[in-house]
Amino acid sequence: MSGGLWQLPNVQPATKSQGQWLSAMLTRNSGCAYLRNFGSPRTEDEFRRQVPVITYEDLPPFLERLREGERNVLFDGVPVACERTGGSSGGSKLIPYSSAGLSDFQYNVVPWLVHTAQRHRLSGTAYFAISPVARKAESFGNLPIGLPDGAYLGEAAGAVLMQRSAVPFEVAGIEDVDQWRDSTLKFLKAARDLELISVWSPTFLLRLCDAIADSREFWPNLKVISCWASGPARPYLDGLARMFPQAVIEPKGLLSTEAVVTVPDESGRPRLARHGYFEFRQDEACFSTSGLVAGGEYEVILTTASGLYRYASGDRVRCEESAAAGQPVLEFIGRDSLVCDLVGEKLTDAFVGQCLGKLEGLATLVPDVKMPGYVLISERAIPHGWLNDFENRICHNPQYAYARKLGQLQPLRQLVCRRPFDVIEQVMRARGVRLGDIKPTALRADDFWLPMFEELTN
């Protein structure tokens, strides 16, 4: 369907401050078991004083109660669904969604879609990959795992998306990955009026379209591609621009299964989402938005209407623009929760990503446990001088520099592999990570990665 400009609903309610959002959420959920454990706080001060910062490892006892059908565990009522999310190296996690949490997702995301449609005067079709593709139906007790795309955007916006979708929604339900790719490409190639592509990871789109020599042959009217563009996703943007020279690449904000943290504003800058409560940890201190300093780097501690309270996300951001009375601009750097520690050096994904800089294409650091040290996996040979400079930047981590000086870690080396992302995709899917949620990372900490990449060079 095409011909007229997109007509999307405005789902944005009256603007609330973070404090107002938190107060309303605490009032609604004060009777749930989790908050009762901490005295059912009602104010922001009580909440920050009484409720501890947690990680996912604190949640399984409460998730098990949800699986058994208990009400009022993490929030008022029961979840509408759960969703899987994957650690960058480890297995999957289950995140519950409440109806209020889904509404917050819509309040945060749909205004961005409205701005994009208006700015680019969209009148053709679009390809959206929001929910997982190519997976079997499953449940957690009586709760479905996963939701269709329309549920994430709400009934009104979902109806517009369904009308404008170049690929029928049901194609995402094809369980075989090869069949899903074939069917998706078949519909996309037939969509001459395709104007918008929205995916999470740029690697998802690169893999989907890697056999297409010239995208302009099929999609001459493509206007915009929306995808992750910060942190470890940044090196893939040049390849995406070459594959789709006719389109503008617009960065997505920091969105994950757990929460929407930042959303592009009308000028495309990643501003803190309005619907949620966020704190920012630096060393041992947690700051509110008013305490952020431009140039400072922080871990995001998030609270959602879906039952995550002061949840340490592991996402590290840099404050690009502080806003004591508004929403700051925050650039995603990488994952602090992804750490590799062979001899005490504690390298993080965020730090390694900064050391890699703007190196183009897939490049990820993996540990070598047999000859303790690190190997840079890449698709093409990297000049020796650049590799030395890269290791010198890593040596800004004093523990890494000390371990190299003592000979505890071997010098950094590189390994050039054929299509290394094929291996990453295969392994992560086997570990329960959604196809569209496989994130590019600068560091992969598990010791099984190097042998698997080495097989590609034999």
Is the dihedral angle over the CA atoms 246, 122, 162, 254 positive or is it negative?
Answer: positive
CATH architecture classification, 1-272: 3-Layer(aba) Sandwich (3.40)
Residue-wise pLDDT for 187-241, tens only, equals 999 999 999 999 888 878 888 898 899 999 999 999 999 998 887 788 788 889 9
Tokens found for residue 333:
């750097």
**Contact yes or no for 95/258 (Cβ under 8 A):** yes
Q: Which residues contact 132 (CB under 8 A, 6 or more apart)?
A: 84, 146, 172, 434, 435, 436, 437
4 confidence band (pLDDT: 50, 70, 90):
confident
Residue 65: exposure state from Cβ atoms within 10 A (0-12, 13-18, ≥19): middle
Q: Give the H or E element holding residue 373.
A: strand 373-378
**Contact yes or no for 270/264 (Cβ under 8 A):** yes
Residue-wise pLDDT for 304-342, tens only, equals 999 999 999 989 999 998 876 678 999 998 877 778 888
Residue 154: pLDDT over 90: no
Residue 1: pLDDT over 50: no
Q: Please give the mean pLDDT across all residues of the chain.
A: 88
Residue 415: pLDDT over 60: yes
**Ranges 165-174, 184-193, 264-273, 427-436: which has the least confidence:** 427-436
Residue-wise pLDDT for 157-190, tens only, equals 888 888 999 999 888 878 887 888 899 999 999 9
The whole-number pLDDT of residue 458 equals: 60
* Domain range summary for the chain, segments of one domain joined by +: 1-272, 339-456
The whole-number pLDDT of residue 134 equals: 61
Residue 2: pLDDT over 60: no
The CA dihedral of 442, 447, 451, 452, to the nearest 10 degrees, is: -60
Residue 125: pLDDT over 90: yes
Residue-wise pLDDT for 193-206, tens only, equals 999 999 888 878 88
133 confidence band (pLDDT: 50, 70, 90):
low
Residue-wise pLDDT for 342-370, tens only, equals 877 888 888 898 899 878 778 899 999 88
Is the dihedral angle over the CA atoms 330, 93, 374, 442 positive or is it negative?
Answer: negative
pLDDT (average), residues 237-255: 93
Phi then psi for residue 250, to 5 deg, are -110, 125
